[in-house]
Structure 1
C-alpha cells in the first residue's frame, strides 16, 4: 500500500500556482496559434479577392486584414531600394522596392516589385527599366517587412546613389531618405508570369509561425505535468527496508 506524507501548506500552494501558471501560458500559446492561422486564411482569401480602390484603405488600412487594391500612379524609377538577401530564397538576391507617386498626393506608396535573383557575384542585379507614364497596379496592401535588429544605424543615409541597399526595410528611414511621407503599408504586386521578378509573398510571422506557438504550448503543458509529478515524488513516503534477523 502506497503511503503519502502530509505536505506543508506552502508546498501545495506553490505547486498549484506553478501548475496553473504553466497551463495558462500553454493556453495563451494555443490562442496565439489560432489567431495566426486565421491571419493566414484571411491573407489567402485576399489574394483572390476583387481589388478595391486604394483611397478607401490608403491612410487607415483595416487591422489584421490585407486588402487587395487597385491604384494608379507614376513610378519614381530612379529611387529604388534593394532589400538584401530575402529569407524566402537561399540563392541570394534582392527584393526590389520602388516608390509610386499618386496624382495630387504628396505621400508616396512604396511598391514591392518582387524578388530578383542574384547574378552569382557581389554586385547588385541590373534592374529593368520601368514605364515613364502612369501605370495601373493591383496587389495586396501589406504591412512592411519587419526591421529586425538594426545594427549600424540608418544605412540609407550613408549611401549617395540609387539603388540603395539595406538588410532591413524601415519606412521611416525611407521617407526621410526621399524627403516625402509614405503610406503606412507597402503594395505587394500580384504575380505576373511575364515579369522578371518572382512575386511570392508568403505571410511573414517574424520567426513565430503557428506551429511554433503550438510547440511552446506543449512545452508549457509539460512543465505543468512535471511540477505535479515532482510534488508527488517528494511527498511519497518510502517503505522502510526490511532487515532479516538470523
Structure 2
C-alpha cells in the first residue's frame, strides 16, 4: 500500500514542480516579448516626434524619467579630450569600441556657475587589430554643434567576472561606463542621463561626418526569439502534464480494468 502511494505521490509532486517552473519561465519570456514590443512601439512613436531639448540646468529624476526612450537633442561643444572608449563592443563580428564624449551644454556656466554637460554615446569604431590598446582616431567637430539621439539613463553593461578598479586619471579604455562613475572620474557636472546619438552632429556648416557607426539594435529585434522560447517552455509543461496523465492516471486505470476483466 505504501509503495503504491509513493509511486503516485512522487511523480505527481515532480510533475507539479516541473509544470509550475516551465509555465513560470514561459510567462517570463512572454512578458519579455511584450515589453520589447512596447519599447519598439515607443521608439517608433519617438522617431516620429520632434526631439526634446536637453536644458543647460541639471535635470531632476522625474524629468529624466520623462525623457527616457524619447528623441532628445543638445547643443554645445564636444570635449573630445575627455572621450573614453568602452571596450569589447563588436559590430559585424569585428572587435571595437563604443566612443563616449561629453558635450558642454550651450548656455550653461554663466555668472560664475559651473557648466553642465551631458554624455553622448557617439557610435562604434573598430580597434587596431595589431595593438588593442592603441586608441583609434575619431574626429570631432570644433565649435558648437547639435547632437540628436535617444535619451537613456545608462549604457548597457557588459558582464564582468570581478569588479573592475576605478579607472585612472589617464585611462581611456574602460570595460563599462556609468554616468556616476564618469562624473567621479572627470569631475564634470553631468546630467543624470546620456544621449545615444542616431544621426550626424550638425554645426554651422552642416552635418559633420565623424566616420562612426551608429547601427544601434532596435528594441523589438528579438521579440520572436522570446516568443519561441515561451512556446518551448509551454510545450514542455504540456508534455510533462501529458506524461503524468499517462503514467499516473491512465495506465493504472487500464491495468485495473484488465485485472477486473480477467477476474470475470
| TM-score normalized by the length of structure 2 | 0.72
In structure 2, how many angstroms separate the alpha carbons of the residues matched to 1:64 and 1:11? 52
Q: Which residue of 2 aligns with 1:191?
A: 199
Cα root mean square deviation, aligned: 3.5
In structure 1, how many angstroms separate the alpha carbons of the residues matched to 2:20 and 2:139? 59
The change in CA–CA distance for 1:11 and 1:114 in structure 2 (over 3 A counts) is: closer
Structure 2: gaps spanning 5 or more residues? 201-206, 260-264
Deviation sequence 1:137-179 (CA, Å, 0-9, x none): 2222124222233355445523x426x0112222222111012
Moved more, 35-44 or 193-202: 193-202
Contact 1:190 1:199 in 2 (8 A): yes
Contact 1:112 1:188 in 2 (8 A): yes
Aligned with 1:211 (options 224, 231, 237):
224
In structure 1, how many angstroms separate the alpha carbons of the residues matched to 2:44 and 2:58? 19
SS in 1 for 2:65: coil
In structure 2, how many angstroms separate the alpha carbons of the residues matched to 1:155 and 1:130? 32
SS in 2 for 1:195: coil
Contact 2:87 2:98 in 1 (8 A): yes
Counterpart mapping for 1:90-129 below 5 A: 90-102=93-105, 103-104=108-109, 106-122=115-131, 123-129=134-140
In terms of fraction of residues, the more helix-rich structure is 2
Query: Post-superposition shift, 1:58?
Result: 4.5
Query: Post-superposition shift, 1:34?
Result: 1.2
The change in CA–CA distance for 1:174 and 1:151 in structure 2 (over 3 A counts) is: farther
Contact 2:116 2:190 in 1 (8 A): yes
Contact 1:112 1:189 in 2 (8 A): yes
Count the aligned residue pairs.
Answer: 232
In structure 2, how many angstroms separate the alpha carbons of the residues matched to 1:142 and 1:32? 19
1:145 equivalenced with 2:155 (yes/no): yes
Contact 1:112 1:187 in 2 (8 A): yes
In structure 1, how many angstroms separate the alpha carbons of the residues matched to 2:98 and 2:9? 60
| TM-score normalized by the length of structure 1 | 0.76
The change in CA–CA distance for 1:54 and 1:87 in structure 2 (over 3 A counts) is: same
Contact 2:138 2:210 in 1 (8 A): no
Counterpart mapping for 1:20-59 below 5 A: 22-55=22-55, 58-59=59-60
